Amino acid sequence: MQPSSEIINRFFRYVNIETTSDEHTTKSPTTEGQRNLGTLLADELRSIGLSHVRMDDYGYVYGTLPSNLNDETSVPSIGFIAHMDTSPDAPGSNIHPRIIQNYDGNDILLNEQKEIVMHVSDFPELTQYKGEDLIVTDGTTLLGADDKAGITEIVSAMEWLCKNPELKHGTVCVAFTPDEEIGRGADHFDVEGFGADWAYTVDGGARGELQFENFNAARARVSITGRSVHPGAAKGKMVNALLVGSDFINTLPEDETPAQTDGYQGFYHLVSMEGTVESATIDLIIRDHDAQRFSQRKERLQEIVTHISQLHPHAEIDITIEDQYRNMREKIEPVMHVVQIAERAMTDIGITPLIVPIRGGTDGAQLSFRHLPCPNLFAGGENFHGRFEYLPVTSLVKATETILQIIRRTATSHTKKNE
C-alpha cells in the first residue's frame, strides 16, 4: 500500500476544487468545478497507467486497467465508481481541512475564532475513533469526503496496481460521475462503454459499511396560489399562500421525518418553503425501503393536498411528484456473490463488515436497474452534507485496501474455479 501521507495529500488536492452541484440548471455537469475536477482526474488516470481514459461531453470520466492475466476470459471485469460533486446542503468552497493527530476522544474545537465546536454529546460516534488521526473541517464548510474520499481510494488503488504488477487481476473499470447529490449521477452513464460485469460505488459512510439496498425515492413540489390584498382591507379577501403552506406542512406526520426515523423507517423530508402572500412553493422528498409503503406515502401527500384544498377553497393548490430511484435490492439478490466477495475482502484485512440499508441513494441504485449490479462500499467519512463532516485516516486507507482485496479475490476465485 501507498503511505497514508500520499493518500491524504491526494484527498486534500481534490477537496480544494469546489464541486458543489446545482439542481437549478439542466446542463451536465451542473457546475464548472466538476468539469475541472474531471479534467484533473482524467490526467491522473493517464499518468498512472490506465488506458481508454476519457471525459465525455456530460463530464463523466472513465478509465480501464487492463487485465494482466494470461487467460482473462474466465475472470469478470469489475468496476469502481465515485461521484465528483458535493452536496449543496452546506458550503463547499474554500474548504480548509486539517488533521487532528491521535484524537483524544473529547470535543473538537474546529474554529477558535468563530467558537465552532464538534461535541461528542452531539456526535457520539466520535469516541470509536479515539487514538486515530481525523481529517476535519474548520466548521464553516463541509469536508467533501462524500465522495472525494471514494475518488481518492479508487485512484490510489489503481496507482498501486500499476506500480505492483505482480498482483494478478482481471480488467478493472473506473468511473467518476457528476451531480450524484442531486439525483442525476447515473443519467448519462455509459454502461456499455464502461465495460464491467458488475461494479461497486465507493460512496458509503463509516468503516465497514456494505450496502445493497436503498430507499425508494421521489421528490414532490407543492405549488400554492393565494390572493394578495392590502392588509388594511384584507378581511374576507386575502388568501395567504404562506399560511396555506404552513397548514400543509403541519399536516405531515410529525414522527415521520429524518430526525425521528432510522434503519428501515421511511420519512417525509421538508427541503424548502419559499414564497409570498400571492404564491408559495414547498419542496419535499419522500423515502421508504418498502415499495408498497413508498406508494402509500405518495398517495398520502395527494390526500393531504385534497384536505388542505377543502380547508382553503379560495387557494389553488397543485402537487407534482417525480420518482427518482428505486431500491436496488431486487437486482442485487440474484447476484449476491458480488456482495459476498466484498464482505470477505473486508474480513481478509481485519474489517468487520456492516451490512446496513442505505438511508439515501447512490448512482449504483439506478445502475443496478440498467443491468450493472452495483452495491455500495464504505468511503469512510462521517456526518456527510454538513460542517461537522470528518474522515478518519485509517478509514481512508482501509477503503483503499478493500478495493485492492476485492480485485484480488475476484481474480483468484474465478481463476481457481476454471482450473
Distance CA 296, CA 207 (A): 34
Q: What is the pLDDT of residue 418?
A: 45
Q: Which residues of the chain have pLDDT under 50?
A: 416-419
Burial class (CB in 10 A: 0-12, 13-18, 19+), 211: buried
Predicted pLDDT at 1: 58
Tell me where in the chain the CATH 3.40.630.10 domain(s) lie: 4-213+327-417
The residue written with cell numbers 483524544 in the block is: 104
Q: Residue 233: what pLDDT?
A: 95
- Please give the pLDDT value at position 360: 84
- Nearest residue to 398 via CA among 212, 166, 206: 206
pTM above 0.75, yes or no: yes
In this predicted structure, what is the pLDDT of residue 73?
Answer: 62
pLDDT at 74: 78
Q: Give the helix/strand (H/E) hosting 402.
A: helix 393-417
The CATH architecture annotation of domain 216-325 reads 2-Layer Sandwich (3.30)
pLDDT for position 413: 76
Q: Are 239 and 227 in contact (CB under 8 A)?
A: yes
In the chain, which segments carry CATH 3.30.70.360? Answer: 216-325
Q: Beta partners for 55?
A: 61
Residues labelled catalytic: 85, 180
What CATH number has the domain spanning 4-213+327-417? 3.40.630.10
* Residue-level pLDDT at 65: 98
Residue 70 is predicted with a pLDDT of: 81
Q: Give the per-residue pLDDT at 3.
A: 59
